[in-house]
Every structure is written in structure tokens, then in C-alpha cells.
Amino acid sequence: MKILVCIKQVPDTTAKISIKADKQGVETNGIKWVMNPYDEFAVEEAIKLKEANAGSTLSVITVGPKARAVEALRTALAMGADDAIMVDAEENVDNLCTAKALAAAIEKEGPFDMVFTGKLAIDDQQSAVTQMLSELCGIPHANVVSKYTFANGNSEVEREIEGGAKEVLELKGKSVIGANKGLNTPRYASLPGIMKAKKKPVKDYSLADLGVDAQQSKVSYKEFSLPPERPAVKMIEGEPAGQTASLVSLLKDEAKVL
């Protein structure tokens, strides 16, 4: 099998975010960048699939600023991927432009028998590239996948749907699978893996190489703002009966959730 995982580099979840003076983005200086956490589940599942099918190869790809985003690829290579594809692009290309670049790279480097992604990126939370990539490649997809089984060339997936229910789907042939938390436990990159990753090939493309115009991005950001500060915790004193009455009153009159 020839397997591909699409990953994204995002700010670490513990990073302290500040807004640019023009309010059209966030300050990236000093931010620690990491592989998108949901993409880690995608990489792990792809490695498991590779290990279960002798002779398979695993590639990883990302679209973003090459100067830093290549480090996310190195992380995936250290985990067990065989090679990587770096598509150099500006930070602000939108989801459709990203999906077009990925689809064009797949056409050049493929065909791939299976494509994995994370269910969404934790920076923009849009959960759109998986579906767009599926449409552009003309293959089925399933997102928010928490259980994956591959047999006889087909995929059986279990995915979460609204209301806490589960949905089981069978996807025939090559597919795009969006990994969710709980699908597996991603492995840590070992020291030997990190050393080997430095020697594994990384192929470079620009958007122009793939026939994608960055000006096709349809989304622009006009004003970023941080969420308001959370109010201080309010402690309710007194006996249980009085506390209950006070809590109901606060929820009804102040929080207005009742």
C-alpha cells in the first residue's frame, strides 16, 4: 500500500497568544509550533496500517511556511513515516487553497491507496480540508473517526455523530479518513527515530509548482480579538437549602441560563 497523511503545524495549546497591532492576525514571534494534535492520531493510524501490510510506504505532507512547518514533517518522520512532501505557502492561505494544493500534490506523487488527516486543526477549528480534499480527489471520506479497520481493500469506520451516538460506515477502495481523539494512542518519537528522520527525504513544492494560485484564497481576516476575561468565581456561603436557592437565583437572574 501507498499511504499518505496530511498534517498541519499549529501553535502549541499552551502558547500565550497576542494580537498584531493591525488586528489582522496573531503575533507568531516566540510561539512554540507543534504538529496538530489530531494529526498525531492520523499519523499513528497510518503507521499501524503500514505495519499491518508488509511492503507498504507512508508519506506525510503539509502546506505552510517552509521555514518552520518542515519541523512538523520531521516529527512525523521520526514517528515512522518514510518520506515527506513540503508545500511552501503563506500562513494565511485558506482551506480551499490548501485542499487544492494537497490534491495537486497527490496527483503528482500518487496514486495513494489511503489518505489520513486530523478531524480539524486546533488553530482555526474549521474542519473543512478533509471534506474538500475528498471532493477534489473524487474519493469517499469519513471524518471524526474514532475506530478504523482495513480489510480486503475497504475501510470500516466508526465515527461520532450528534447526541453522543456512533455511526458505522464502510468505505470502498481509497478514501480520506479524518482521525479523532481516541482512535489510538500516538507513539513518541524515539531517539533513533529522530536521528533517522534527519536523513529521510523531504520533497519541496511551491504552490506555483502545483498550479495553485495563492490569490485564489477566498477568506481574509479583518479583525482578531481575544476572548473576554472570565469573571472571578463566586462562592455561595450558608446552609445547603440557602445555597441551592441562591444558586438557582444566580443562574436565572445573572447568568440567565434558566
pLDDT digits (tens, 9 = 90+) for 105-158: 999 998 999 999 999 999 888 899 999 999 999 999 999 999 999 999 999 999
Domain count, the chain: 2
Q: Record the pTM.
A: 0.85
Phi, psi (deg, nearest 5) at residue 228: -65, 155
User: Average of pLDDT values for 73-94?
Assistant: 94
221 assigned to some structural domain: no
Is the per-residue pLDDT at 219 higher than 90? no
Which residues does 203 contact at the CB level (< 8 Å), separation at least 6?
83, 84, 85, 86, 109
Do 143 and 85 share a structural domain? yes
CA distance linking residue 234 with residue 249, whole number of Å: 13
Q: Which helix (H) or strand (E) holds 4?
A: strand 2-7
pLDDT of residue 224: 84
Do 81 and 128 share a structural domain? yes
> Which residue type does 125 have?
Q
H-assigned helices in 9-54: 37-52
Is the per-residue pLDDT at 218 higher than 80? no
Do 136 and 51 share a structural domain? yes
Q: How confident is residue 13, by pLDDT bands cut at 50, 70 and 90?
A: confident
Do 29 and 117 share a structural domain? yes
Domain of 74 in residue numbering reads as: 2-216
Do 255 and 211 share a structural domain? no
Do 65 and 21 share a structural domain? yes
Is the per-residue pLDDT at 237 higher than 80? yes
User: Average of pLDDT values for 30-59?
Assistant: 95
Do 233 and 188 share a structural domain? no
Least confident of 88-102, 154-168, 223-237: 223-237
85 assigned to some structural domain: yes
DSSP string of 83-135, one letter each residue: EEEEEE--TT--HHHHHHHHHHHHHHH---SEEEEES--TTT----HHHHHHH
Is the per-residue pLDDT at 38 higher than 90? yes
Percent of the chain predicted with pLDDT > 90: 67
46 assigned to some structural domain: yes
222 assigned to some structural domain: no
Do 249 and 146 share a structural domain? no
